[in-house]
Amino acid sequence: MAKTVKQLAQNKSRPERAAERKFAKAYGLLVDQPMSVAGFDELTRNNIVISAAMDGDRERVLSRYGSLVWELWPFITTPNTKENQKRLDWACIPEPYREVCKAVVLRYWRVGMEGSIRPGVVGLRKLLNNLATFCRFLEASSIASLGEVHPIHIAHYVHVQKARGNAARTLAIRFSVLEKLYAFRDQHPQGLRFHPWPESSALEVAGCTGMGYKDARRDGKTPLIPPAVAQALFLHGEAILKTAQTVLDERDAGLRSAWRDPQVTAIRSACFYLLGVLTGMRSSELSSIEVGAGRTEVKNGYTFHWCGRRGEHAEIWPVWKC
């Protein structure tokens, strides 16, 4: 019997396994998958591909929406991550609430919450764990489905969690799950139909109030560039690159300084910004890019542009088309 991609990966050395995982994601298959399961019948919904990897030239599906376990190791880039932290095990969610939670988690994974970036596997695991805590409470309270939850149940849940002596930050994270259930309520007919605290927020309900706490959160979070500013920077960067070849030819001919000429350094800055936006690479990762690190390929009719860095921890990123 042929071995699965996962078994082949586990039989390799750590460097080989890491390299395989970074290059094995089947983008050609994943790009065709829907962003939401809302409106799909059960058969179609359960067949949606969650994760897939390349086995040589073949695309092999690892997990589908209907699977009890979602294998997410192709999306892991952090080395030395434990195997049990590379998957979502839906067995932790009692069955009456599982379909709603799956729909919410998938949509959250695909688009994120307004004003924040999309979550990674770590964020999804935290969400799943906190969903499990809430769903087990509902099960113990004999609530048949999320659609039957009422404000009195939410109030009781808040009381129970606070009575356990959890820290305010822990409570805020657990309570924020209810806000996500409401935010993505249109993903399933049995979703949470009302805002858990219309005149408040998970932070305030948890007791995370006061200017000191808010300042601490603000200092620990990188502010997002306003959309209008990001758009202007992007267009400015594109405009610089349109005339870049002439400037670079003059530099190579000795007519411009490679380090001090403002038009030459503007090209460098434009490339740095545009690559950061289109790949999600960090500043340190962008700085480690070397000549020849980009490539283009066509798979299943889709054109993919890739940009990688070399060095001790070689990695590769897709360059998204805008």
Q: Give residue 247's pLDDT.
A: 95
3-class DSSP assignment, residue 62: strand
139-166 pLDDT, tens digit each:
999 999 999 999 999 999 999 999 999 8
Q: Give residue 236's pLDDT.
A: 96
Q: Tell me the whole-structure pTM to 2 decimals.
A: 0.66
**Per-range mean pLDDT, top range of 17-21, 58-62, 207-211, 266-270:** 266-270
Q: Give residue 297's pLDDT.
A: 80
The residues pairing with 60 across neighbouring beta strands, listed in sequence order, are: 53
Query: With contact defined as beta carbons under 8 Å apart, do 289 and 282 qualify?
Result: no
Identify the burial level of 210 via C-beta atoms within 10 angstroms of its C-beta, where 0-12 means exposed, 13-18 middle and 19 or more buried.
exposed
3-state SS, one letter per residue, for 137-197: HHHHCCCCCHHHCCHHHHHHHHHHHHHCCCCHHHHHHHHHHHHHHHHCHHHCCCCCCCCCC
Query: With contact defined as beta carbons under 8 Å apart, do 99 and 65 qualify?
Result: no
Q: 29 or 260, which is more confident?
A: 260
pLDDT surpassing 90 at residue 16: no
Q: Give residue 317's pLDDT.
A: 61
pLDDT surpassing 70 at residue 3: no
**How does the average pLDDT of the chain come out, rounded?**
84
Q: Give residue 109's pLDDT.
A: 95
pLDDT surpassing 80 at residue 10: no
| Strand pairing category for 302-309 and 315-319 | antiparallel
3-class DSSP assignment, residue 123: helix
Identify the burial level of 58 via C-beta atoms within 10 angstroms of its C-beta, where 0-12 means exposed, 13-18 middle and 19 or more buried.
exposed
